[in-house]
């Protein structure tokens, strides 16, 4: 099995990047390489800055991103990530997508969008956009928050995003632009960069077209890590939710990429629902596995087994009661931090799935609905609602994962598409 091995997120900017940029990009990327003295090593930040940004100023060496929680708008916010980190110490956490324009226009208000607690490392900021200047500025503005990787969204089919010029998954149709975008992002940060994309768009869905995209982006920019949501996107007006279920999963494309681009790293995403499947994907060669909906809808069982079953490390060792106690301290400290926001409902939202399929779950949600009307602290909210959950649920530790579809990827070898060879056109273009 190929691993990320020796993954060190604090990679300094190297001249290799600028050579690639100079040699390959048609735009004068240096224009977009903003004041790089700002992309300093972590240790060179002053004490005042360290205090200001509240980030740990130590060189960080995390375990590799063998498992990550997907970026999910309105779901993987600070509150969810706080809960997720209490359950798993090693899962990599992605933020929701943040538009480069939002970062740029809110530059005097950045904590609200970019701040997170140091415990959330390793954490990846996902940005979206289609304007090189704004992507450069947004990356630079995000630097002082010390995200561990910058990810660029090329997979979102939402009409709000995809219909907004060339943004989200539509960018897969313009790999040259994505190469340029990744170059400006990389030129303005000293952490690794990655792309999250689909396997195709509408009828641009052949394996060869996917390979052309990967080939061009990786040749034109320092991008070495791709996260592949293994279904194409349909831009015919179906909802984003349908776009996560209707187009069929084609894992064989993902495994084809592993074979055809041995110098790149690939994380598989889409339809993976439990830890056994994560391990099966890794055993079949995936460098990393990203899980979205399952990590949100059933955080205790999905994330609770990551540290032991994926990383071979001890589990967090906490019961649900202990996690709730810690979460309560967090919740009460941020409630109403920005005027009326966050609201009690925002903070409790990720917990609504914490007792998934357990006895008392339905009653706890009904009590929660009532408690939202009058509780003013998380402490009082929990006192009023958690009586619905039996002690046996509150005090049990994380169960071992049930056996699942361990054979999900077992026939990949026989399904692989023919090997890719870049055509002369593609090579010349890159």
Ligand X SMILES: Cc1cc2nc3c(=O)[nH]c(=O)nc-3n(C[C@H](O)[C@H](O)[C@H](O)COP(=O)(O)O)c2cc1C
Residues in 284-343 at the binding interface with ligand X, rule: CB under 6 A = 291-294
* Annotation says 166 is catalytic: no
Shortest Cβ distance from residue 72 to ligand X (Å)?
Answer: 4
Interhelix angle 15-24/175-187, rounded to 10 degrees, is 150
| 86 or 272: CB nearest ligand X | 272
Query: Can you tell me which of 20, 25, 70, 284 binds ligand X, judged by CB under 6 A?
Result: 70
Nearest residue to ligand X by CB is 292
Shortest Cβ distance from residue 55 to ligand X (Å)?
Answer: 23
Shortest Cβ distance from residue 69 to ligand X (Å)?
Answer: 9
The count of C-alpha atoms lying within 13 angstroms of the C-alpha of 270, restricted to the half-sphere facing its C-beta, is 28
Question: Catalytic residue among 156, 197, 316, 429, which?
Answer: 156
| 72 or 368: CB nearest ligand X | 72
Cis peptide preceding 122, ω within 30 of 0:
yes
Q: Output the six-digit token pair for 410.
A: 């077992």
Please report whether residue 196 would count as binding ligand X according to CB under 6 A. yes
Query: Can you tell me which of 57, 72, 199, 344 binds ligand X, judged by CB under 6 A?
Result: 72
| 171 or 426: CB nearest ligand X | 171
Query: Can you tell me which of 269, 298, 302, 385 binds ligand X, judged by CB under 6 A?
Result: 269
Residues in 201-230 at the binding interface with ligand X, rule: CB under 6 A = 229
Residues in 120-159 at the binding interface with ligand X, rule: CB under 6 A = 126, 153, 155-156
Query: Contacts with ligand X: how many residues (CB under 6 A)?
Result: 22
| 292 or 342: CB nearest ligand X | 292
Shortest Cβ distance from residue 137 to ligand X (Å)?
Answer: 20
Query: Can you tell me which of 71, 122, 179, 304 binds ligand X, judged by CB under 6 A?
Result: 71
Please report whether residue 75 would count as binding ligand X according to CB under 6 A. yes
Interface region with ligand X, contact rule CB under 6 A, candidates 170-178, 206-214, 264-272, 279-287: 264-272
Shortest Cβ distance from residue 91 to ligand X (Å)?
Answer: 13
Instruction: Give the chain's largest Cα–Cα span.
Output: 68
Residue 238: how many other CB atoms lie within 10 Å = 15
Long-range Cβ pairs for the range 402-407 (8 Å, 24+): 402/274, 402/276, 403/276, 404/273, 404/274, 404/275, 404/276, 404/277, 405/274, 405/276, 405/277, 405/280, 406/276, 406/277, 406/279, 406/280, 407/280
| 126 or 298: CB nearest ligand X | 126
Strand partners, 194: 151, 225
Task: Please answer whether residues 405 and 280 qualify as being in contact, where contact means their C-beta atoms are separated by less than 8 angstroms.
Answer: yes
Task: Please answer whether residues 189 and 163 qualify as being in contact, where contact means their C-beta atoms are separated by less than 8 angstroms.
Answer: no
| 73 or 235: CB nearest ligand X | 73
| 21 or 97: CB nearest ligand X | 97
Interface region with ligand X, contact rule CB under 6 A, candidates 10-18, 36-44, 65-73, 420-428: 65-73
Rg of the chain over all Cα atoms, to the nearest angstrom: 22
Shortest Cβ distance from residue 196 to ligand X (Å)?
Answer: 5
Task: Please answer whether residues 277 and 246 qualify as being in contact, where contact means their C-beta atoms are separated by less than 8 angstroms.
Answer: no
Q: Which residues contact 128 (CB under 8 A, 6 or more apart)?
A: 97, 98, 99, 100, 152, 153, 156, 161, 167, 168
> How far is the C-alpha of 218 from the C-alpha of 211, rounded, in Å?
10
Q: Which residues contact 262 (CB under 8 A, 6 or more apart)?
A: none
As annotated, the active-site residues are: 156
Binding site for ligand X (CB under 6 A): 70-73, 75, 96-97, 126, 153, 155-156, 196, 229, 244, 269-272, 291-294
């Amino acid at each position: 099995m190929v691993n990320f091995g020796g993954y060190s997120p604090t990679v300094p900017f190297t001249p290799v990047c600028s050579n690639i940029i100079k040699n390959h990009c048609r735009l004068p990327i240096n224009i977009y390489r903003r004041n790089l003295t700002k992309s300093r090593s972590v240790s060179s930040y002053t004490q005042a800055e360290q205090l200001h940004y509240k980030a740990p100023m130590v060189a960080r060496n995390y375990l590799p991103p063998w498992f990550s929680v997907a970026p999910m708008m309105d779901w993987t916010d600070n509150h969810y990530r706080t809960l997720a980190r209490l359950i798993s110490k090693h899962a990599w956490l992605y933020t929701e997508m943040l538009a480069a324009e939002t970062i740029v226009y809110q530059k005097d208000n950045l904590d609200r969008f970019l701040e997170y607690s140091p415990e959330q490392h390793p954490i990846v900021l996902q940005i979206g956009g289609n304007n090189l200047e704004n992507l450069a500025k947004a990356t630079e503005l995000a630097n002082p928050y010390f995200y561990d990787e910058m990810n660029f969204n090329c997979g979102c089919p939402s009409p709000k995003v995809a219909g907004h010029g060339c943004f989200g998954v539509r960018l897969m149709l313009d790999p040259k632009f994505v190469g340029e975008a990744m170059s400006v992002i990389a030129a303005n940060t000293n952490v690794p960069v990655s792309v999250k994309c689909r396997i195709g768009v509408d009828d641009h869905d052949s394996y060869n077209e996917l390979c052309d995209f990967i080939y061009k982006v990786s040749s034109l920019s320092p991008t070495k890590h791709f996260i592949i949501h293994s279904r194409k996107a349909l831009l015919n007006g179906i909802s984003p939710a349908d776009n996560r279920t209707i187009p069929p999963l084609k894992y064989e494309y993902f495994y084809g990429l592993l074979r055809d681009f041995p110098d790149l790293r690939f994380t598989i995403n889409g339809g993976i629902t439990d830890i056994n499947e994560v391990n099966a994907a890794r055993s079949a060669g995936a460098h990393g596995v990203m899980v979205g909906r399952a990590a949100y809808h059933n955080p205790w069982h999905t994330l609770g087994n990551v540290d032991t079953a994926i990383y071979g490390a001890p589990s967090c060792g906490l019961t649900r009661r202990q996690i709730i106690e810690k979460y309560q301290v967090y919740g009460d400290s941020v409630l109403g931090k920005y005027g009326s926001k966050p609201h009690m409902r925002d903070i409790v939202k990720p917990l609504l799935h914490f007792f998934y399929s357990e006895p008392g779950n339905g009653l706890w949600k009904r009590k929660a609905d009532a408690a939202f009307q009058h509780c003013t602290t998380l402490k009082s909210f929990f006192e009023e609602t958690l009586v619905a959950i039996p002690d046996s649920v509150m005090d049990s530790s994380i169960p071992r994962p049930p056996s699942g579809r361990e054979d999900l990827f077992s026939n990949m070898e026989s399904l692989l598409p023919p090997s890719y060879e870049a055509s002369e056109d593609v090579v010349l273009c890159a």
